[in-house]
Amino acid sequence: MESRVLNSYPRVDRATSATAELSVIVPTFNERDNVMEVVNRLDRSLQGNAWEVIFVDDDSPDGTAMRVREVAQRDPRVRCIQRIGRRGLSSACVEGMLSSSSPYLAVMDGDCQHDEALLPHMFELLRADEADVIVGSRYTNGGGIGQWDASRARMSRFATRLSRAVIKSDLSDPMSGFFALRREAMEVAVRGLSGVGFKILLDLVASSPSTVRVKEVPYEFRSRHAGESKLDSQAMWGYLMLLADKLFGDIIPVRFVAFALVGGVGVLVHFAVLTTLFRAMSLPFTISQAVAAVVAMASNFVLNNTLTFRDMRLKGWRWVKGLVSFVLTCSIGAFANVGVATYLFKQHMLWGLSALAGIVVGAVWNYAMTATYTWSKNR
């Protein structure tokens, strides 16, 4: 069945294919059944242009990367980057752009929601030097959000308003995932990019000097061709991390802030379990305290794995090993916390300040060690 689909795909003469002038970067996660459709649509709309498409796939379980390579065997304009052990739409787009040599770049979703028919116009505007970045906008005159329900439309408008905190430009749709740009516009911004979350255009514009010229063109957001949405509740968290990184990332790493917030939640979990066991169930204090500490550490591990280290999330056997190394590391952190606090208290520091100093030392230790050993070394 699959080979019949592929056999119907026209072979492009390898010897005569020109060097690409436009690279279209398509981030994918579980988009296998959209790959052919995306390539066919690009082929139709970009006829007469020297283009290539680079799919950047985060090792999708549905075999998206394999499908891309099958198509690439028949068409040298198709390329695949398969990233192992990492997730993230923004970082995928950055790597795709960096892997290309074309003077012009575009970013487009892999589910056919973006209107590829607009690409030749975007490309033309760039070549005519009308702007450095051309944004496909859903919110400018002539654009639209298609079939979105009221709550998603409200969320998008709210997120767009929040983006004003980090960009000065009056873009109507800074949250757009559909845009084209000159290579130089990417190069001036690339070292300042946060690379977290879903919103690569916002990241780019916020990291660009004000001399970068941006222009918007309207398009109507379509429904997905096949497959399922990856937009989930964590996308909003990723977005807040991006905004925070843009606002104060130079002073303090946002990952550490997220880790500390999770730690705060852990304290609440600890007290909830302790109160239940010790007060409501009348268990001995030491047992209640020990159980509360283990439950709090486990819930911190789950939250950090889902939120703080979302892009390196551990699964299966690695999840179990990660939990063990997290609990061991945080236990040492707890000793350091108590040791430092006790020492300072004995030096006649105020009890609250002594405790705070202990907490900071414990948190920094836990963060540094788990970021290195639980989430980085385990892959």
Ligand X SMILES: Nc1nc2c(ncn2[C@@H]2O[C@H](COP(=O)(O)OP(=O)(O)OP(=O)(O)O)[C@@H](O)[C@H]2O)c(=O)[nH]1
Residues in contact with Mg ion by the rule CB under 5 A: 109, 111, 113
109 sits near ligand X (criterion: CB under 6 A) = yes
Nearer to ligand X, 52 or 58 (CB): 58
Helix and strand counts by DSSP (H, E) for the chain = 13, 7
Task: Give the contacts of 187 (CB within 8 A, at least 6 positions apart).
Answer: none
Residue 174 sits in the site that holds ligand X (CB under 6 A): no
Stretch of residues binding ligand X (CB under 6 A), selected from 21-29, 189-197, 294-302, 334-342:
21-29
Q: Which stretch binds ligand X (CB under 6 A): 23-31, 153-161, 201-209, 248-256?
A: 23-31
User: Out of Mg ion, ligand X, none, which partner does residue 88 contact, by CB within 5 to 8 A per kind?
Assistant: ligand X
Among ligand X, Mg ion, none, what does residue 31 contact (CB within 5–8 Å per kind)? ligand X
Question: Using the rule CB under 6 A, which residue among 230, 260, 289, 302 binds ligand X?
Answer: 230
Among the listed ranges 110-118, 164-172, 200-208, 368-376, the one in contact with ligand X (CB under 6 A) is 110-118
User: Which of 22, 71, 89, 241 is the binder for ligand X (CB under 6 A)?
Assistant: 89
Distance CA 96, CA 108 (A): 11
Minimum Å gap between C-beta 55 and ligand X is 8
Confirm or reject binding of residue 29 to ligand X (CB under 6 A). Answer: yes
Give the number of residues in contact with ligand X, rule: CB under 6 A.
Answer: 19
**Pick from 114, 122, 121: nearest CA to 177:** 114
Distance of closest approach, residue 27 Cβ to ligand X, in angstroms = 3
Q: Is the separation of the CB atoms in 56 and 93 below 8 Å?
A: yes
Query: CB of 292 within 8 A of CB of 274?
Result: yes
Count other C-beta atoms under 10 Å from residue 100's C-beta. Answer: 19
User: Residue from 111, 115, 116, 216 that binds ligand X (CB under 6 A)?
Assistant: 111
The least CB distance from residue 112 to Mg ion, in Å, is 9
The structure tokens listed for 168 are 């000065």
Give the residue with the Cβ less far from ligand X, 213 or 224. 224
Q: Is 338 in the site for ligand X (CB under 6 A)?
A: no
12, 117, 226, 231: which one binds ligand X (CB under 6 A): 231
Under DSSP, the state recorded for 103 is S
User: What distances in angstroms separate CA 167 from CA 188, 239, 247, one per listed residue?
Assistant: 16, 14, 10
Q: Alpha-carbon distance 17 to 14, whole Å? A: 5
The dihedral region occupied by 358, where left means phi > 0, alpha psi between -120 and 50, and beta the remainder, is alpha
Residue 88 within binding range of ligand X, rule CB under 6 A: yes
User: Maximum CA pair distance of the chain?
Assistant: 81
Applying CB under 6 A, does 233 fall inside the site for ligand X? no
CA proximity to 27, closest of 2, 56, 7: 56
Measure the CA dihedral 282/284/290/296, to 10°: 10
C-alpha neighbours within 13 Å on the C-beta side of residue 104:
25
Task: Confirm or reject binding of residue 116 to ligand X (CB under 6 A).
Answer: no
CA–CA separation, 49 and 21 (whole Å)? 8
Choice between 58 and 245, CB closer to ligand X: 58
Residues that bind ligand X (CB under 6 A): 27-29, 31, 56-58, 87-89, 92, 109-111, 113, 224, 229-231
